[in-house]
């Protein structure tokens, strides 16, 4: 007896999800093009083809709620890919090379950007926040501190055992900022993340990350740090 009533409910849910998706994609496009500070709710509604002026508030509460939802969706995509990459690497059994660990940091976003133009817009829209974050860059990353991210930190700590905690944290932060800035710049180019050009980009970023993380601590840095500790 209940089945005839379920179809309209399902249709309403489907329309609602479609509206939410349209609003998030519209916000992503506008923020990628002009920066988050220059985007208004009115612009998002127009871009999403929504005549209902309260649609964004209904689904997200406000602009901040929409941005949180958008980050959660994209962050979930990165997290799922990263978990698979980490599991595959750990399944090998042998200790991974530093380059393999660096790849865990950036390959998920690279693969998503190669597959989806929308994700490339997401990088352009929100990558600058990671590169320019006033706090640790890791806190601005979209997938937070999930088990896969923690596994990467553990692998890096084991690989870079010669670095003390302060320098280790500085190197990780610098690596994340560099990667974010590189991805934002590359995402704005024609044919970004695809073909041989995309492969060369990924390999070059991995080279640089290895250099940032594995570079020896210079005598000058040691001297300055020793003086500041006195």
* Segments in 48-164 forming alpha helices (H): 55-60, 63-91, 98-115, 117-132, 137-140, 147-159
Report the alpha-carbon distance of residue 20 to residue 126 in Å, rounded.
19
| Mean per-residue pLDDT over the chain, rounded | 90
Contact 43, 30 (CB under 8 A): yes
Report the alpha-carbon distance of residue 210 to residue 151 in Å, rounded.
18
Length of the chain equals 230
- Tell me how far the alpha carbon of residue 27 is from its chain's centroid: 17
Rounded to a whole number of angstroms, the distance between the first and last alpha carbons of the chain is 80
Q: What is the pLDDT of residue 210?
A: 98
Angle between helices 165-187 and 98-115 (to 10 degrees): 30
pTM for the model: 0.87
Neighbouring residues of 82: CB distance < 8 A, sequence distance ≥ 6: 104, 108, 143, 146, 148, 149, 152
Neighbouring residues of 201: CB distance < 8 A, sequence distance ≥ 6: 182, 186, 192, 193
Report the alpha-carbon distance of residue 169 to residue 175 in Å, rounded.
10
Residues 188-205 have a mean pLDDT of 96
pLDDT tens profile 44-75:
999 999 989 999 999 999 999 999 999 999 99
pLDDT tens profile 78-102:
999 999 999 999 999 889 999 999 9
Report the alpha-carbon distance of residue 196 to residue 152 in Å, rounded.
27
């Amino acid at each position: 007896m209940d089945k005839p009533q379920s179809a309209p409910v399902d249709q309403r849910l489907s329309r609602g999800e479609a509206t939410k998706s349209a609003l998030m994609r519209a916000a992503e496009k506008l923020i990628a093009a002009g920066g988050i500070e220059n985007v208004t709710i009115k612009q998002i509604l127009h871009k999403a083809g929504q005549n209902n002026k309260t649609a964004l508030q209904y689904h997200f509460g406000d602009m901040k709620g929409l941005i949180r939802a958008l980050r959660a969706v994209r962050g979930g995509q990165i997290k799922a890919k990263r978990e698979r990459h980490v599991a595959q690497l750990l399944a090998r059994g042998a200790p991974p090379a530093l380059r393999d660990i660096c790849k865990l940091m950036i390959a998920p976003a690279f693969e998503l950007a190669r597959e989806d133009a929308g994700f490339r817009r997401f990088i352009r829209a929100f990558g600058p926040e990671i590169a320019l974050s006033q706090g640790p860059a890791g806190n601005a990353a979209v997938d937070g501190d999930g088990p896969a991210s923690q596994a990467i930190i553990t692998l890096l700590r084991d690989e870079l055992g010669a670095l003390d905690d302060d320098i280790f944290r500085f190197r990780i932060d610098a690596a994340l900022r560099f990667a974010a800035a590189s991805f934002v710049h590359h995402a704005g180019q024609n044919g970004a993340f695809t073909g041989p050009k995309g492969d060369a980009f990924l390999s070059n970023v991995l080279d640089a990350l290895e250099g940032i993380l594995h570079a020896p601590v210079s005598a000058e840095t040691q001297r300055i740090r020793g003086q500041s500790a006195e």
